[in-house]
A and B are shown apart, each in its own frame.
Chain A
Amino acid sequence: MAKVKLFDIAIARSGDKGDGSNVGIMAKTPELYDFLYEQLTAGRVKEFFKEICFGEVERYALPNLQALNFILYDSLGGGGTETLLTDAQGKCHGTGLLHMELDVPDELLV
């Protein structure tokens, strides 16, 4: 096991959906996708974003793209034209998720 930031095993993109954001994350290999599918639950993402996301977190899987899609409700300070946040559209939430550290089995890190 090695403590690894998601930057090393995935890529991400995020954007706004009303007063929420979506964060898409794609694993670098099929094995890492299986690992993220097990480990990167909606609950874990909600806990990680607790200072940003004040609503539920919903998760969808796209195994064909080795990807997971998270919806972070109530995470944009009003969203749209109402919010005063610098990151009004959640553009940084994808980069943010990649800062998460997970214990990854060594054999997946080749």
Chain B
Amino acid sequence: MSTERIVRVANAQGFWGDSMLAPIRLVNEGPVDYLTFDYLAEITMSIMQKQRSRNPEHGYALDFVRMLEKILPVCKEKGIKVIANAGGVNSKACAKATSELIARLGLTGMKVGIVEGDDILDSLPDLIAGGESFTNMDTGAPISDITDRISSANVYIGAKPIVEALEQGADIIITGRASDPSLVVAPLVYEFGWSMEDYDKLAAGTIMGHIMECGAQCTGGNYTNWKEVKDFARIGYPVCEAKADGSFMVTKHEGTGGLVNIETVTSQLLYELGDPQNYLGPDCIADFTTIRLTEVSEDRVEVSGIQGRAATDTYKVSISYANGYKLLGSLCVPGPDAVAKGQLIADMIFDRLALHGFDLPEEQRFVEFFGSNVLLKGLVQSSDEPHEVMVRIGARSQDKEVLSVLGTEMAPVVTSGPPGVTGFAGGRPRPQDIVGYWPALIDKSKVTTSVTVNEV
């Protein structure tokens, strides 16, 4: 029997709002050494900034602490460490709530670590004055276009400070905008003593993180051949068994639902991928064209051969800003002539908006007849008239009032339009803030992270 050391890392949360059952099942249904939680998407930080401005004790993933209550006793008993970017824009408050929970559960002796330094909102003016351009990576637009309406600015930091927290004995590590794969890279660096210049190993950890970062999307979720997947309700979340040489096994706990094979793992490797030879992260550049996959046995895929290179001199920065408003309402209508009725409904609503005295330019209007091939627009040919459509009507505008008025003219269609209009659920739609996303770069030397570990 091989005595080679294995470190088991599992990802229990693919996004803020993922199933609360996943972490509970991962710690109870099989062996795990590290549990990671990925909460942060591009716009999450902006939502959290808003929450903190209303309540200084908020601004992090409140769900995380509720979840910990259910798993911490088991984590302490089994020695499972937790790494989560649940801190959002208020890691201190998240750590405080976590420490209070530990005390309340009588689990004293556990250590809570915080990684900070990703939040650069307050220092943004100084950084700009100091020469950082924050040019939009996608559009090339200058930051001056949005400086008066920025709501959050966070650096995607890497594994190093998380490793420091582990070295200081932290059992639970809370970060702000740490990059998703770095949550997985860190425990491997710590456990195997990898050098932060061993780029092949860091790339292996990064790709392991990429495979797991959307939870069950590598264990049968969203898989093309879904009929081959067993027991979706009890789908097993991913567990990776890592070895010191950088190779690892993708699997899930025995007896769980789902499916792990070369196709389910490849699907997730391809998810949100850009240039496969240049997968940029804060810790390294990973080369996806070096990955070798081997199906070792049922629900076990070995990943090996991964190569990487030194990371760039910059970190990615995620900036969010206020970018006007949007509104969307929907009405349902039956056939015959469902699409023609839908078109009439859309026309009459925008005409009535004009009768209110508002001019909404064509390019700001949105109409979709759901049920008439909108998901596969132009990709499938169907001559059959749909028997029903959902008319989705909306608009975007910098002017909140025009959208409010548009929202008032949806329900009246039920009694003053074509026959059979129904399904006007959820009440009058109201304008929502559009949070714009502005990706940029920052010189690594301008970012300082800090680590604090406290025993409860």
Contact = CB atoms under 8 A, between A and B. Distances in A.
Interface of A: 7, 11-19, 22, 24-26, 48-52, 60-67, 69, 71, 77-78, 80-82, 84-87, 91-92, 94-100
A65 B43 contact: no
Interface of B: 42-43, 138, 217, 222-225, 263, 266-277, 288-293, 323, 326, 328, 366, 368, 370, 374-380, 392, 394, 396, 434-437, 439
Given A13-B222, A82-B323, A52 B377 contact: yes
Given A84-B366, A98-B224, A24 B270 contact: yes
A96 B374 CA distance: 11
5 contacts: A22-B271, A24-B269, A48-B378, A60-B277, A62-B288
Contacts of B270: 13, 22, 24-26, 62, 65, 67, 69
Given A49-B378, A71-B274, A13 B268 contact: yes
Give the residue among B224, B288, B435 with the most A Cβ atoms within 10 A: B224
Nearest to B43: A81
B368 A85 contact: yes
B271 A13 contact: yes
Nearest to A69: B273
A64 B370 CA distance: 39
Contact of A11 (B225, B292, B366, B435): B225
B224 A52 contact: no
A19 B269 CA distance: 21
A81 B434 contact: yes
A24 B290 CA distance: 17
Give the residue among A17, A51, A64, A78 with the most B Cβ atoms within 10 A: A64
B377 to A, nearest CB: 5
A30 B271 CA distance: 21
A82 B42 CA distance: 13
Contacts of B375: 86-87, 92, 95-96
Nearest to B320: A81
B436 A82 contact: yes
Nearest to B46: A81
Contacts of B272: 15-17, 22
Contact of A86 (B266, B271, B374): B374
Given A51-B379, A69-B274, 13 more contacts: A11-B263, A17-B272, A24-B267, A51-B377, A60-B274, A62-B288, A65-B291, A66-B266, A71-B274, A80-B436, A92-B376, A95-B375, A99-B379
A7 to B, nearest CB: 8
Give the residue among B223, B267, B328 with the most A Cβ atoms within 10 A: B267
Contact of B271 (A24, A25, A81): A24
Given A51-B378, A84-B326, A96-B375, A15 B436 contact: no
B288 to A, nearest CB: 6
A95 B267 CA distance: 12
Contacts of A24: 266-267, 269-271, 273
Contacts of A78: 396
A18 to B, nearest CB: 5
Given A18-B138, A24-B271, A60 B276 contact: yes
Contacts of B138: 18-19
A65 B269 CA distance: 9
A50 B378 contact: yes
A95 B224 contact: yes
Contact of A99 (B273, B326, B380, B437): B380
B241 to A, nearest CB: 21
Contacts of B378: 48-52
A86 B224 contact: no
Contacts of A13: 217, 222, 224, 267-268, 270-271
A110 B366 CA distance: 46
B379 A49 contact: yes
B267 A99 contact: no
Contacts of A98: 224
Contact of A84 (B222, B323, B392, B436): B392
Nearest to B396: A82
Given A50-B378, A92-B375, A81 B436 contact: yes
Contacts of B437: 18, 80-81
A49 to B, nearest CB: 7
Given A11-B263, A13-B271, A64 B289 contact: yes
A52 B374 CA distance: 10
Contacts of A95: 224, 375-376
